[in-house]
A and B are shown apart, each in its own frame.
Chain A
Amino acid sequence: MNNRLAHLLVRLYPRSWRERYGAEFEALLHTGRGGLRTSANVAWSALHEHVFPTPGLKIEQSQFRSWCVRAPWAMFGLAPLFLLAGAYFVACFILWSGWEIFLPGTNTPFVPIDGLANFYFQVGRLIYFSAPILIGWAIGLVAGRQRLKALWPAVGWILIALIGGTAQVHASRTAVLSGIGHIRMGFALGPSVHGIPDGLFHALVILSLTVLPYLIWRLQKTHFVSS
């Protein structure tokens, strides 16, 4: 394999791994076959090493880890909230701008629509619905990667799930005097289905989806250590 490419691929691994295995691994890559398949295999293995670090290798004492340990409330409480707020802002902006561009005469943007307009609104929907799950996965990834206890990540998961499950978007052309269209977000548990409020049910679904990959990782780790 090309020397430069081998060096670049080794750089994909975490620093602690590179410090121990980098030189010999680069030598192996240099003498071995190149090709797309090899590069993909190395890139995938590097990603795996980031997500599931080799047990026993010294974890990097980065500034990021230091933040995770010193201020877990900020990393797992505030940061996910800001991220979610940002994602909701973008989704609402897409909804509002799409309403102004494609549906200037309607009282609400929530009407059946086709073509490019539909695609535009679907991008906003995708951001709106996937944001809590993606942020939840990110919390699990950071917690797993930094090998932290599950308490603060659990706080983050519950917060995100509750917000994601109970969030509602309201749109009205007549709510403000200018009539340019008004989008606002509110939080409500909603009507009950089989005794469980709708919002709480959605929150439980989001919580399950976000916690599941972390639990699988924990089980896999426990199995690996005990075998």
Chain B
Amino acid sequence: MIEDIASICGTRLGPGTLYGAIARLEQQGWIEPLPPKERRRPYRITAEGARVLRAKLTTLRQFTKAGLQRLESL
């Protein structure tokens, strides 16, 4: 997951930061744990998590679009 995030954003999360986020996302009910594979535990997004993420990304897309339009008009 750390590598995945680094390839998308160019920022490498520390393991403490990543697990801090995982713990909060799980406690919010936005992700849920799957059965462990050896000592590692995979997670998947919940329906509520997907709804919240979609809403956030939609807002972000509108924000990006408006920002780029204003930049082009300069």
Contact = CB atoms under 8 A, between A and B. Distances in A.
Given A24-B36, A28-B40, A32-B2, A54 B27 contact: yes
B59 to A, nearest CB: 12
A32 B12 CA distance: 12
Contact of A27 (B16, B17, B23, B40): B40
Given A27-B39, A28-B40, A37-B14, A45 B19 contact: yes
A26 B16 CA distance: 11
B15 A38 contact: yes
Given A26-B39, A27-B40, A42-B15, 9 more contacts: A27-B38, A28-B18, A38-B15, A41-B14, A42-B14, A45-B17, A48-B20, A54-B20, A54-B27
A23 B16 contact: no
Give 3 closest A-B pairs by Cβ, nearest first.
A45-B16, A41-B14, A56-B27
B33 to A, nearest CB: 9
A28 B16 contact: no
Contacts of B17: 41, 45
A172 B53 CA distance: 69
Interface in A1-58: 17, 20-21, 23-29, 31-32, 37-38, 41-46, 48-49, 54-57
Contacts of A44: 16
Contact of A25 (B15, B24, B27): B15
A9 to B, nearest CB: 8
A55 B39 contact: no
A57 B15 contact: no
Interface in B11-57: 14-20, 22-24, 27-28, 36, 38-41
A55 B27 contact: yes
A41 B27 CA distance: 22
Contacts of A31: 40
A43 B39 CA distance: 22
A21 to B, nearest CB: 6
A26 B19 CA distance: 11
A174 to B, nearest CB: 59
Most buried by A among B15, B16, B22, B36: B16
A43 B15 CA distance: 10
B40 A45 contact: no
B41 A24 contact: yes
A54 B41 contact: no
A57 B14 contact: no
